[in-house]
Structure 1
Amino acid sequence: MRWSGSICALVTPFDASGALDVPALQNLLDWHQSAGTSGLVIAGSTGEAALLEDGEYEALLQQAAQHNAGRLPLIAGVGSPSTQKTIRAAAVAKQAGYQAVLAVTPYYVRPTQAGLKAHYVALADASALPVILYNVPGRTGSDLLPETVAELCTHDNIVGIKEARAEPDRMQALLALQADGFDVLSGDDGTGLRAMQAGARGIISVAANVVPEQFARMCRHALAQEFADAQAIDDQLRLLYDALGIESNPIPAKFLLAAAERCQNVLRLPLQGLAEPYRAAVLAAWVEAELA
């Protein structure tokens, strides 16, 4: 299976009591299917996965897969500081009917490059689902270097990477590794189009939570090499990209989804709702993006 286009790293909606909001989750899934989203990441970092209890994680994956009913490809976030816990999460995703797993570099423990390679090889060997690597040093404290990716991408069960570093040279180094069985995806909305112009096959996006139709159109134009049309949309979304990073993800995204009455503005501690001084600017950026 190839991974491309607009892949949304979906928020996890909670109700007023803090429990998983299944009706809101179902509505979000329906919205993305009709908006042209190419795939969804369930229980990634945007989905507050690190704040879910084990039973909640399993319930989230199962509820999403059951309601999705095969309409969109689903990727399960399985990242953990522990290799064995990551492997167990991949088994849960397989049982729930997912198509792949997205495994962030083990956070907090800061493994060496040799440790990262051993971690991903162990996961890929054990997982019945294809593995997509995920590098986001700003969140994890470790950086999966291109030379390590070059060793990992030869594994038959490692099928791609989400790269959140924005430097052009990092993306170029990874694109040199792209092949029929290994897809390079941007994990940074602000430079995602630039990455696709250079050859990346898609974007795993936070902004797609808020403006899925516009983001999907931009990616379709980029894949068709209609870069002027893609750039026009990207330019209109630029304020939104900045707004979604004004506080820790997914704080601004959930604020906007609540404003759109798509889910409640409920986050898990230690995350809290968007600070009052930022709200007007974030709303203005969303209005601008809706026009794209």
Structure 2
Amino acid sequence: MARFGRLVTAMVTPFNDQLQVDYEKTEHLIDHLIATGSEGIVISGTTGESPTLSGAEKLALFKHAVMYAKGKCHIIAGTGSNDTAASIEFTQAAQSVGVDAVMLVAPYYSRPSQEGLYAHFKALADSTDLPVMLYNVPGRSAVNITAQTTLRLAELPNVVCVKEASGNLAQMAQIIEHAPEGFELYSGDDSLTLPTLSIGGVGIVSVASHVVGRQMTDMINAFLAGNHADAASLHRKLMPVFEGLFAYPSPGPTKVALEKLGIEVGGVRLPLVELNEQEKAFVHSLLV
């Protein structure tokens, strides 16, 4: 089914020279992503430097993206945090500007129990009419949404999919096997795109698609057409890009790669810092 498409990009946030959100660059980036295969775009996820964007900046980005790209691709707003009440308020604000769905990250830092995770996500889902994408990323949030908790949440009418960045294929397989009809699983790791498809996942919420979107689309289409050897070959060839874009703190490498391709997106906000010349040279080498 792939409600939001097979290839969804967790978009970087373009900045100007003063590290303020640049809306003209954002439009150019959206055009680039759509042209290279992205069927959905996540605005203000981790790759979008959400921790350093104010609420007002995020809402303005959501609104602009909806106005610019509505009908061309799905716009998914990253509205989750570790504050349930604040996340509810922000999710409702995002709904008011017309986004297609929201992505809700596991509450970071707080490390709630599984019951706490369920109550948090249920409260958020109950507060909106929008489709909800859960986002499990224990490497950043310090808490894993277990398969059992994901499956409980999947019973809620508007919890429609999960971005699984746990790296745990066994957990992912359990979710896919036991999920109610219509609930979908996306890989949250580019390097697991093909393995996830092979066990029944529907696609990828990607970072690498900023720079290899066409190749990833070819790989996904090859797999879906039954050309598994071709898909595997493409996946192997893309692995250096999948891994290299995380050789240094993300999204620094992705922004450098985009600049190399002629897509201007500016720098990164502190506490992230610009890549040095040696690091930039490594990123450039991935694109050869």
TM-score bin, normalised by smaller chain? over 0.9
Conserved? CA contact 2:144–2:166, under 8 Å? no
Shift of residue 35, structure 1, vs aligned partner: 1.8
Partner of 1:63: 64
Shift of 1:261: 2.4
Do the aligned partners of 1:257 and 1:265 also contact (CA within 8 Å) in 2? no
CA contact (8 A) 1:100 1:129 kept: yes
Paired amino acid for 2:20: A
Correspondences of 1:199-210 after superposition (within 5 Å): 199-210=200-211
Deviation at 1:7, TM superposition (A): 0.5
SS in structure 2 of the partner of residue 165 of structure 1: coil
Deviation string 1:41-70 (CA, Å, 9 cap, x unpaired) is 111111111110111111111111111132
Question: Aligned partners of 1:46, 1:224: CA distance in 2, in Å?
Answer: 30
Indicate yes or no: 2:240 matched with 1:275.
Answer: no
Taking only aligned residues, the RMSD between alpha carbons, in angstroms, comes to 1.4
Counterpart code for 1:12: T
Task: Name the counterpart of 1:152.
Answer: 153
Amino acid at match of 1:109: S
Contact 2:155 2:180 in 1 (8 A): no
Under a length normalisation based on structure 2, what TM-score does the superposition of the two structures give?
0.95
Q: How does 1:86-235 map to 2 (within 5 A)?
A: 86-235=87-236
| Paired AA for residue 173 in structure 1 | Q
Quote the offset at 1:172 in angstroms.
Answer: 1.2
Counterparts of 1:170 and 1:277, CA distance in 2: 38
Residues paired across the two proteins, number? 287
Give the SS at the match of 1:213.
Answer: helix
CA distance in 2, matches of 1:151, 1:214: 35
Q: Letter of the aligned partner of 1:39 in structure 2? A: G
Tell me, in whole angstroms, the C-alpha distance in 2 between the residues paired with 1:42 and 1:156: 23
Give how far 1:179 is off: 4.0
Q: Which amino acid aligns with 1:161?
A: V
Q: 3-state SS of the aligned residue for 2:48? A: coil
Instruction: Give deviations 1:194-241, integer Å, cap 9, x for gaps.
Output: 111111000000101122221222222233333222222211111111
Q: CA deviation at 1:139?
A: 0.6
- Looking at structure 1, the residues matched to 10 and 218 of structure 2 have their Cα atoms a distance apart, in angstroms, of 17
| CA-CA distance at 1:118 after TM superposition | 0.2
Structure 1 CA distance for aligned equivalents of residues 237 and 75 of structure 2:
28
Larger mean Cα displacement after TM superposition, 150-159 or 262-271: 262-271
Secondary structure of 1:211 counterpart: helix
Equivalent in the alignment of 1:241:
242
Which structure 2 residue ranges, 5 or more long, are not aligned? none
CA distances 1:72-92 after superposition (whole Å, capped 9, x unpaired): 011111121111121122112
* Residue 41 of structure 2 is aligned to residue 27 of structure 1: no
Q: Distance in 2 between matches of 1:276 and 1:168?
A: 36
Q: Which amino acid aligns with 1:232?
A: S
What is the rounded CA distance, in whole Å, between the counterparts of 1:205 and 1:285 in structure 2?
17
Q: Partners in 2 of 1:178 and 1:147 — Cα distance?
A: 10
Pairwise CA distance, 1:71 = 0.8
Equivalent residues of 1:9, 1:46 under 8 A apart? yes
Instruction: Show the counterpart of 1:259.
Output: 260
